Structure 1
Amino acid sequence: MLKRAPSYRTLELELLEWQERELFEYFVVVSLKKKPSRNTYLPEVSYQFPKLDRPTKQMREAEERLKAIPQFCFPDAKDWLPVSEYTSETFSFMLTGEDGSRRFGYCRRLLPSGKGPRLPEVYCVISRLGCFGLFSKVLDEVERRRGISAALVYPFMRSLMESPFPAPGKTIKVKTFLPGAGNEVLELRRPMDSRLEHVDFECLFTCLSVRQLIRIFASLLLERRVIFVADKLSTLSSCSHAVVALLYPFSWQHTFIPVLPASMIDIVCCPTPFLVGLLSSSLPKLKELPVEEALMVNLGSDRFIRQMDDEDTLLPRKLQAALEQALERKNELISQDSDSDSDDECNTLNGLVSEVFIRFFVETVGHYSLFLTQSEKGERAFQREAFRKSVASKSIRRFLEVFMESQMFAGFIQDRELRKCRAKGLFEQRVEQYLEELPDTEQSGMNKFLRGLGNKMKFLHKKN
C-alpha cells in the first residue's frame, strides 16, 4: 500500500522546488489612484512584466495572485496623502497558493522624482526564491534607475529575467546599460546556506529583548496566535520572517502574513493559529475586534499589548535558561567583533542565533531517529510513546506531550517517515554529532542529564 505524499510543508521540500526556475516570475509597479468623489486612494498595478497572455490554468492562478499584490504593497493605502519627502522603504510579503506553494514579494516603496507633493509607488518583484539579500540588491538598482527615469527600469528587469537561476553559493552576472555610465555588470550572489538566505535575525534583537524573544518563540512552537505591531513595513516583514526561521527544522503550517493589509484585519478573529503583522495605524481597530486568546507584541516598545501570562512556563525550565544564556553570550561575541565588516558581522549573527535554536531542538527531539522503525516492506513508522518516554527529564516529557500534538511536529515526522535517500540537512548533521557525544548508556536512556546550551557553545563556532 502506497503512502500518500506529505500534506505538510517542509523547508527541505520547498528548497528542492525552488531549483530549475527563473530568478523571478514577474515584476510590477503599484501606484495609488484617487477614488472617485473621495479623498482616499486605492492601490493599482500601473506596470507589469511580463504580460500574461495565455489563458492557461497557470495564467489564471497568476492573475489571481496579481489581484492580491496591490493591497500587500500598500496595506496602509487609506492613510496616504501626497508628500514632498519620503525615505524609501524595503519590505516583503508572502503569497500562498491553493497547493500550498509560496511566493515572496520583494518591495521597494519610494517617492518618484519631481517637485511638490506626490504619492509614492512600489516596485515589486515576485519570486519563488527566498533571498532577501539578493533581491534587496536588485531593488537598489531599480531605485537608482528610477531616480533617472522610469524607462531605465524595464530593460534592466528584462535582462534579469533572462539570467539563470543561481545555485547556492553561485554568482550570476547581469549586463546592463546606463546613460552616462555606459555598460555595467551587476553581480548577484546567492548565499551557500539556503536555509538562512531569506532572513536576518538582527531585526529581532533590535526590537526585542532576549527574554521577550524566547516567550514569542515558545508561543509559536505551541502554535498559538501571535500578532506583531510596528510603525514600519520593513520591521514587520523582517521580524516575521526571522522569527519563523527560528523554528527550523520545523515549518510553520498555519496562516502567515508578515504585513496584513488593513482591509483584511478581520483575519485576527480567526480561531486557528496564525502569525500576522499589523501597522500601528491599525492598532485602534485591532483593540475593538473580538480577538480570541493571542499574544500581541509591540515591536517598537518591546512590550506585550496582550498576553496569556504563561509564556514563561511553556518551555522546559533548564533549556529555557540555557537558551537565554547562549543568546546573551551571543551579544558578547558580536560586540567583541564590532570592528568587523557589517555584512560578515550579520552573517556571524545569523549563524550564531541559528545554532542556538537548533541546539534546543537537538536536546528535545534529537533522538527521534532512534524511534523510526522500518517494516519488511520498507515502510518507516515513528514510535511516538516510546520516543517520549525515553526522555529522563520530566519537564522535557511534559513539553513533548504538548509539542507532539502540533502540526509542525506531525509534518516533521511525516517527512522523515517518507524519506528514502534524501540528503541530510543541517539538523540531521547536528543530531549525529550530539548522539556521538553521548555515552552508550545515555543513548539508551536518553538525556539522563540535561546539559545546558550555554555550556555547549562549541557548536556556534563550527563552519558548515
Structure 2
Amino acid sequence: MASDSKAAGNAVTREIESRIKQIPEHLFEVFLEIREPIDNEIPAILLKYPENFPDEHLKTVTNFAYPCKMPSDEQSEHFAFVILDSTGTLFRFGYCRRSNRESTCLCIISFYPWFEVFYKILNDLSQVIVSKSTADVEQLLSSLYNYKLFSIEEFYKNEGKEEIEINILSKNFNYTRPDPRKLPSMLSSRNFSVMVSRLGPELMLCLFSHLLFERRILFVSSKLFHLTACAYGCLNLIHPMHWQSIFLPILPASMTWTTQCSTPYIIGLHSSLFSTLKMDELGDVVIVKIDERKIESQYDDLSLFPKYLIRSMKKGIQQSSQLAGDHLARVFLRAMAFTVGNYANGFDIKNDKLDFDRERYLEPYLGSHVHTFMSAVANTQMFEQFSRYRTHAQLEREVDIDEFDLEVRNLQKLQQSKKFKTNKKIYKLLEKAASPLFEQVQNKTERIQTVINKAGQRVASEASSVRNNLTSFDINDVIKRTHNSKIHQSITTNNVRDKKSVYQSSTPDLQNENSIPYERIHSKDNLFLSEPHLINQDQISSSSASSSRSSTPELDRHKSNTLINLDTDDENLLLPSPIVLNVINTPVPPPRSTSNSSNRLKN
C-alpha cells in the first residue's frame, strides 16, 4: 500500500494519523449473519457476502459479535466493535444488530465510521431476511457492495452532501452519507448523545482530562450499546487528535487479559465480565462505571489543567444544556484549540527539510505555571502523530480547512480583540489619571477666555459708541457752533469773569432745579444762542474741547477738504439752516481716548 511506504519513510499521512482508510474499494467488506451460540460452542455463520471473503478473520468477528452470554430478556440493540486491518494500523468497524426473537446477530464489516448509515442498513436487511427470500437479500447486498460513492474531492465539491439510493424489490432504500468535517451534535450522532445522557457533562470533563494524558480507561456497563456509545463518543472530545493506542470498544471474554496491559487503552467491558477480574491486577486504571454514572481514578488530572481553561469549559458546559446543535462538542474543540492550536511553534528546518521539534515547541512554556500541563500533553503518542501529520500537511500543502483550524483562527481573533480591549483599558486608566491636569488646564483656559471675552465686550462697546457718534454727526450743527463762537466769544468771556466759580457733581439731580449747572442768558445780546452755557469756566473749556474731539472725529478730515470751508463767517447756502433747540444738557462725561478703540476696530 502507498500509505505503508510513506509510513516506512517516517511520513505520517492523514490516513495513518486518523487510522481511518481514506479510499476503501467498497462500501463494506463483508456481511455476516451469525447464530447465537449454545452453551460453549463456537458461534456459527449462517450467511456470508461476498462468499470469497477470507475466513482467517471470521473467527475473531464471531467472538466480538457474541462477547459474553447475554440475558434472554434483552431487547434488540446495536453496537460496534473494532478489528485491525492486515497492516495492524487501520481500523475496521464491525456494526452489529442483535435480536433475541431471531436468535441471530447481523454484522457488517466496513472501513467507514458511519454508525447511523450502517445501523439503518442492518435494520433494512433484517426486514428482508424475515421475508425468507435469500435472493432478495443477496440483491440488496450486491447493490450496496458495488455502490460507487463520490470521491472525497467530489463529496466536498458537492458541499458535503451525498445520498446513497438503492432501488430494488420495488422499494427505495436511501442513506445519507455523513460529513466527517462536522462536529457531532445531540441529533446527528447517536454515540455522542448517549454518552452525554449516560455520563453527563461533569463526568465528560473529567474523562477528557484522562484522555488527554493517555490514561488506561476501562468502560463498564451491562449494555453493549452504552459501551459502544461512550467508547466511540469520547474520541470526539480529543478532536483533532486521534487515539493511537489500544482501542477495543467491545472486549470479548477470550481477551479479558488485555485489561492488564501497561500501555494506554480504551476498552469497553460488559459488567458480567468485569466481575471476574482481579482488581489488584488492573493497577492504576481509570474505571468509568456507566450504569452507576461515576469514575474511579487514582489521578487528579483535572488539577493540572490551567484554571482559566477549566473555568471556561465549565461555563460552556453549563450553557450547552440550553443550546442545541454542536455547542457541547465545540466546548471541547475550543479547549483543544487552546491547548495544541499553536503547534506551528514547533516547526523547524533540519537538513533543509521541515520538521517538528518538541523541545522548540515547549520552549515558550519553560518556567511558566502551564509547563507541566503542556509537557504532559506534548509527550503523548496522540500529539506525536498529530504534530508529524501537520508537518507532512505543510510539506504536501494540504490546505483542507476543518473545524479545528477555524476554531484556532477564532481564538487568534479573540486574543487580538482582548489585546485591543486591554490597550483601551490602559488608555482609560491613563486618561483617568490625567483628568485632574486636564481639568486644571481647562479651568485656566476658561478663566483666560472670560477675561478675553470681557475685554472684547469693552472694545465692542467703545466701538459701538464711536459708530453712534459718527452716525449722529451733524455738519450743520458744527458750522453753526463755529459761527456763533466767533461772534459771541467776547461776550461769553466777560460774563464768565463776573461769575463765581461753582463746582457741581458730575451726576446732577435733574429733579432739583438748583442742581442744574447752567443758567439761561436773557440779555438781548445772546438771544440767538441755542446752547445753554455752563457756569464753570473749566467745564466750558474742557467740555468744548472734548466735545469737538469725541463727537466730531471726522472734523479735521473735512477741514482739510478744500471743497467745504467750515471757517467762513458767511452763511453757507448749500447747507440747511440750523434748528435752534431749547434743551437741558447734562455735564459731558470725561473725554475718552478713541485712538485705542480705532486701532482695535482696524485690527
Output the TM-score relative to the length of structure 2.
Answer: 0.61
The residue correspondences of 1:97-108 to structure 2 (distance < 5 A) are 97=85, 98-108=87-97
Partner of 1:148: 131
SS in 1 for 2:43: strand
Alignment counterpart, residue 421 of structure 1, candidates 387, 397, 408: 397
Q: Within the alignment, does 1:110 sit opposite 2:99 as a pair? A: yes
Partner of 1:365: 340
Partner of 2:32: 28
CA distance in structure 2 between the partners assigned to 1:29 and 1:203 by the alignment: 26
SS in 1 for 2:33: strand
Percent of matched pairs sharing the same residue: 24
Alignment counterpart, residue 326 of structure 1, candidates 316, 320, 329: 316
The residue correspondences of 1:258-407 to structure 2 (distance < 5 A) are 258-287=249-278, 290-304=281-295, 306-334=296-324, 348=325, 351-374=326-349, 377=352, 379-391=353-365, 394-407=368-381
Partner of 2:197: 206
CA distance in structure 1 between the partners assigned to 2:22 and 2:50 by the alignment: 20
Residues 207 and 133 of structure 1: CA distance in aligned 2, closer, same or farther (over 3 Å):
same
For residues 331-378 of structure 1, give each alpha carbon's deviation from its aligned partner in whole angstroms, at most 9, with x where no partner exists: 1214xxxxxxxxxxxxx2xx223321111111122122244234683x
Residues 141 and 6 of structure 1: CA distance in aligned 2, closer, same or farther (over 3 Å):
farther
Residues 229 and 401 of structure 1: CA distance in aligned 2, closer, same or farther (over 3 Å):
same
Residues 289 and 41 of structure 1: CA distance in aligned 2, closer, same or farther (over 3 Å):
farther
Question: How many residue pairs align between the two structures?
Answer: 398
**Could you tell me how far 1:440 is from its partner in structure 2?**
10
The residue correspondences of 1:224-243 to structure 2 (distance < 5 A) are 224-243=215-234
Partner of 1:256: 247
Which moved further from structure 2: 410-419 or 231-240?
A: 410-419
**Could you tell me how far 1:143 is from its partner in structure 2?**
2.1
Residues 108 and 284 of structure 1: CA distance in aligned 2, closer, same or farther (over 3 Å):
same
Partner of 2:76: 88
Amino acid at match of 1:162: N
Partner of 2:437: none
Partner of 2:490: none
**Could you tell me how far 1:206 is from its partner in structure 2?**
1.0
Contact 1:11 1:251 in 2 (8 A): no
CA distance in structure 1 between the partners assigned to 2:369 and 2:318 by the alignment: 23
CA distance in structure 2 between the partners assigned to 1:320 and 1:4 by the alignment: 39
Measured on the aligned residues, the alpha-carbon RMSD in Å equals 2.8
Q: Greater CA radius of gyration, 1 or 2?
A: 2
CA distance in structure 1 between the partners assigned to 2:202 and 2:115 by the alignment: 27
Q: Within the alignment, does 1:190 sit opposite 2:177 as a pair? A: yes
Contact 1:72 1:259 in 2 (8 A): yes
Contact 1:170 1:189 in 2 (8 A): yes
CA distance in structure 2 between the partners assigned to 1:194 and 1:436 by the alignment: 22
Bigger share in helix: 2
Amino acid at match of 2:131: I
SS in 2 for 1:42: coil
Partner of 1:458: none
For residues 8-37 of structure 1, give each alpha carbon's deviation from its aligned partner in whole angstroms, at most 9, with x where no partner exists: 685686588333531111101111243xxx
Structure 2 runs not aligned, ≥5 long: 1-5, 421-603
Which moved further from structure 2: 368-377 or 206-215?
A: 368-377
Partner of 1:338: none
**Could you tell me how far 1:295 is from its partner in structure 2?**
0.5
CA distance in structure 2 between the partners assigned to 1:201 and 1:26 by the alignment: 26
CA distance in structure 2 between the partners assigned to 1:422 and 1:256 by the alignment: 28
Contact 2:93 2:112 in 1 (8 A): yes
CA distance in structure 1 between the partners assigned to 2:47 and 2:20 by the alignment: 31
Which moved further from structure 2: 410-419 or 197-206?
A: 197-206
Partner of 1:71: 63
SS in 1 for 2:292: coil
CA distance in structure 2 between the partners assigned to 1:131 and 1:412 by the alignment: 23
**Could you tell me how far 1:195 is from its partner in structure 2?**
5.8
Residues 195 and 127 of structure 1: CA distance in aligned 2, closer, same or farther (over 3 Å):
farther
Amino acid at match of 1:414: R
Which moved further from structure 2: 217-226 or 205-214?
A: 205-214
Residues 123 and 16 of structure 1: CA distance in aligned 2, closer, same or farther (over 3 Å):
closer
Give the number of the structure with larger relative contact order, counting CA–CA contacts within 8 Å between residues 6 or more apart.
Answer: 1
**Could you tell me how far 1:433 is from its partner in structure 2?**
3.1
Q: Within the alignment, does 1:215 sit opposite 2:192 as a pair? A: no
Partner of 1:172: 164
Contact 2:243 2:382 in 1 (8 A): yes
SS in 1 for 2:240: coil
SS in 2 for 1:91: strand
Structure 1 runs not aligned, ≥5 long: 53-58, 114-119, 178-182, 335-347, 444-464
CA distance in structure 2 between the partners assigned to 1:170 and 1:393 by the alignment: 51
For residues 276-306 of structure 1, give each alpha carbon's deviation from its aligned partner in whole angstroms, at most 9, with x where no partner exists: 00011112112456112100111011112x3
Residues 212 and 8 of structure 1: CA distance in aligned 2, closer, same or farther (over 3 Å):
farther
Which moved further from structure 2: 185-194 or 232-241?
A: 185-194
**Could you tell me how far 1:310 is from its partner in structure 2?**
1.5
Amino acid at match of 2:28: F
CA distance in structure 1 between the partners assigned to 2:97 and 2:20 by the alignment: 28
Residues 33 and 385 of structure 1: CA distance in aligned 2, closer, same or farther (over 3 Å):
closer
CA distance in structure 1 between the partners assigned to 2:310 and 2:284 by the alignment: 23
Contact 1:173 1:185 in 2 (8 A): yes
Residues 42 and 12 of structure 1: CA distance in aligned 2, closer, same or farther (over 3 Å):
closer
Residues 441 and 216 of structure 1: CA distance in aligned 2, closer, same or farther (over 3 Å):
closer
Amino acid at match of 2:112: L
**Could you tell me how far 1:93 is from its partner in structure 2?**
0.8
Contact 2:191 2:228 in 1 (8 A): no
Contact 1:20 1:165 in 2 (8 A): no
